[in-house]
Amino acid sequence: MNAIAEKCRKVDPTDPTQGQSDTIVQLVIALALGLSAFIGFCFLRPRWKGLYAARKQQRDSADSLPVLPDTLFGWIPVLYKVTEQQVLASAGLDAFVFLSFFKMSIKLFSVMFFFALVVMAPINKRFRYLPPWGDGGDQEPTIAWYNHPQLTNMSWSNEADNDDGSKKFILPEISYLWAYFVFTYVFTALSLYFMTNYTRRIIRIRQDYLGSQTTITDRTIKLSGIPPELQSEEKIKELLEKLEIGKVENVTICRDWKKLDDMMDKRASILRRLEEAWTVHLGNQASVANAQSRVIRRSSEDYEEDESNAHESGNLLGQSHVTPYEQPRPTTKVWYGFLNLTSKKVDAIDYYEEQLRKLDDKIIEARKQQYKPTRLAFVTMDSIPACQMAVQALLDPSPMQLLAKLAPAPSDIVWPNTYQPRSSRMIRSWTVSIFIFVLTLVWLAPVGGLAGLLNLCSIQQVWPEFAKLLERHEITKALVQTGLPTLVVSLLNVAVPFLYDYLANMQGSISQGDVELSLISKNFFFTFFNVFLVFTAFGAAGKFWPALQESLKDTTKLAYRLAESIDALAIFYTNFILLQGVGLMPFRLLEFGSVALYPIMLIGAKTPRDYAELVQPPIFKYGFYLPTAILVYILCFVYSILPAGYMVLFFGLIYFVLGYFIYKYQLLYAMDHPQHATGGAWPMICHRILVGLGVFQLLMAGYIALHKSFVAATLIVPLIPLTIWYSYFYARTFEPLMKFIALRSIRRENNADFNIVDEDIGAERPAEHIRRESTTVDESREKGQKFVNPSLFVPLEKIWINGQKGSNDDSTNRGAQSPDPLGRQASTESSVSLGDTHIWRENGDNNV
């Protein structure tokens, strides 16, 4: 038997010194990566404010935030002092909830780390289980206490020699396992305590925040399952008012606007091509500086002058073929004839302007037409209490009919999905779910391969020469066995969310907020199932099916399998958290993806519109970052009591501390979050924490039972149904307050210092609940919005060249009037022609 095989036979995965060299190597790599990224960010931050302070520069909601100093580290204390009230005022509820999860984890794991270091670490150092391994696996589990001088006079059940010749005494099972039992209960209680306290706090703040604002979203319901006999605005209004819920302010029935939406998409494409043609003709005079300039608003006098001088300056932008510019007019190839087999080159500017003119005429006519209604409508009530009563009540005795739910924000709605039949959305949703299930099985191959790299014995079986090479080079072995798997798993956690984001958008959700919540769910399923359960319980992909079949036949097998392998993977998960927190987290500050893509996008940018899009703040998506954070939370719990617990908790604490400050900076200063979920991610976080608690309890029961302490293991089992009951209790008690606004929380507009119940009895609200003087971020971004498909009324953008953009707020567009209830568009437009580029405006109104 060779040396590697002999070492594999004697290896003890519970040995606290096992894998320390791997962790040291990983720590050096993580520190090198993290510190270089952090120092690089501190150096580049004041120099690239267009990227690293994009939100502060371009979003009015960030104006109230303190200005960060341009010194190397001076921004850190200023960011630390930004309060939760400022986070709410600037970034909204979703950011507040996201950061609250990190704050809760910091407090919880600080307490757990103390107990793990002070109590469990000494116990685990003195007592160490030797679980049954070897070929037969029949050896009785025992406890080893190495050369303890105070126990020399005790009766030993067995005696063996250590490798160094000293005696190793084997004790029968004693009360050691009861420490595991006690701390399983203690840590479970701590988790539920912190989760409940933070839930109550978030509910209180959310109710006060939403109850003190007035937005059209807070007064609007999404009414689905509308029967054919009620598919008109007048009938829906009459029905709801008969129910005496409240007065209806407006009803918008979603109609089949596909034809109109397609024309608007086509128009946007033609407009871009026209802008590219003009940019080529005029020369690339556009620059990033021009693109960053504010939108130019032209007054009505300017347009009167344009109209009066239209003939004098005719063809200002496009005289047929006589131009003052040195660059020739660009051409484009047009296909025509039988099966579009014939082509010819034409003047690109003339061609696209004519295409745009014809399409504008079609859009104007399309806005006047009547479209087929669907079973979905948005109903705006006259007050928030009326809206809340409608969504919390059953409106119709028939199943699946007249279902009222809270409406998403107008800017959050995916309008093409509103006129998709419910059956079509269901088919798309199930298709995506089935595809993700199949994809989960596909991930087994790479995940199983990575699991094989963790064990030198597995490498020995597949590639003996490579195993011998690794055995001779300790650092290379650490890099291959620990560094490479953790890096690949981390890269999977970065890459897979992009695929799942695309799939979530294909499911047919009505709002982008629903898409993001779906993305959180999908990515967590990947990280939890593939990165944790499959990696831990089933090992290599070839063992997955036999292990799964065995576990399905007897669920206790899963607990035993987890217990058998969890110690062996302690170093891997420790290094995984270390790399995620210390090594990769600072790279999020650098926005490496945006920096890497910027040169590529810059090369492809041609028009001022392209340059303007380059400097927009990147989008912060919680579904990309939250699942990994929840997985780290679960890993900290799983290992909290085991010998590696203090190391896992220490690096987990570092992960959440760094994550809190880095994400706080990005959410407030660097990145934008246009979605509007009003903190809807918090119940998802809590339910997944409870799943992790269940796994932790199941694992500890199996771990203790594996070592024949059946009484302690049996006493842990009641924790599992208790956690399931708490999940049900949480859903019934707390979730409604995370979804709805309590009527008592709603403030009347004419007396903001009292809520509607306390006002009747003359009781003033506490000072911390008094309505804020300024508007909320939701009120600011929803000002002037309506629940109407933008294709029906949005002003038709005009060409944007030389860094100057036609404003959507001026009178330069046709068809900019609000639609009538039937989805038709009245028309009182007039046009002004500047050569071949048409500038349209509405009579008598410069602000549409």
Q: Is residue 52 part of a domain?
A: yes
* Claim to verify: residue 380 and residue 428 sit in the same structural domain: no
**Domain of 252, in residue numbers:** 216-257+372-408
pLDDT of residue 259: 93
- 8 Å CB contact between 760 and 351: no
Sign of the alpha-carbon torsion through 532, 537, 541, 545: negative
Same domain? 666 vs 639: yes
> What are the tens digits of pLDDT across the range 755-794?
433 443 333 444 444 444 457 787 787 888 889 999 998 9
Domain boundary among the residues 356, 380, 408 is at: 408
CATH number of the domain that residue 377 is part of: 3.30.70.330
User: Other C-beta atoms within 10 Å of 324: how many?
Assistant: 5
- Alpha-carbon distance of 737 to 733, in angstroms, equals 8
Q: Are residues 115 and 100 in the same domain?
A: yes
158: part of which helix (H) or strand (E)?
strand 158-161
- Model pTM score: 0.80
Q: Is residue 329 part of a domain?
A: yes
Number of domains in the chain: 3
| Residue 415 belongs to a domain | no
Quick check: is 12 in a domain?
Answer: no
Q: Distance between CA atoms of 633 and 639, rounded to whole angstroms? A: 10
Q: Are both 518 and 618 inside the same structural domain?
A: yes
Report the alpha-carbon distance of residue 780 to residue 790 in Å, rounded: 19
Amino acid 439 reads L
Residue 686 shares a structural domain with residue 577: yes
Asked if 337 and 434 sit in the same domain, the reply is no
Strand order in the sheet with 167-171: 128-130, 142-146, 167-171, 158-161
Segments of the chain with pLDDT less than 70: 1-21, 128-174, 284-327, 447-484, 537-562, 748-774, 802-848
- 536 and 671 part of one domain: yes
Is the dihedral angle over the CA atoms 659, 662, 667, 670 positive or is it negative?
A: negative
The verdict on residue 770 lying in a domain is no
Which residues 6+ apart lie within 8 Å of 637 measured at CB? 187, 191, 692, 693, 696
Tell me: do 325 and 445 sit in the same domain.
no
Q: Do 804 and 687 belong to one domain?
A: no
The answer to whether the beta carbons of residues 497 and 523 sit under 8 Å apart is: yes
CA 735 – CA 160 distance, rounded (Å) = 57
Residue 760 falls inside a structural domain:
no
Looking at residue 149, what is its pLDDT? Answer: 37
Final residue in a domain of this structure, among 347, 382, 408: 408
pLDDT of residue 205: 93
For residue 254, give the H/E element and its range. strand 248-255
> What pLDDT was estimated at residue 475?
65
Asked whether residue 320 falls in the same domain as residue 176, the answer is no
Answer whether residue 16 is part of any domain. no
- On whether residue 619 sits in a domain, the answer given is yes
Summarize pLDDT for 476-521 with one digit per residue, the tens: 666 666 666 777 777 778 888 888 999 998 988 999 888 999 999 9
Local structure of 534: helix, strand or coil: helix
Are residues 350 and 304 part of one domain? yes
Residue 87 structure tokens: 């986070």
Pair (577, 678) in one structural domain: yes
Alpha-carbon 823 to chain mean position:
35
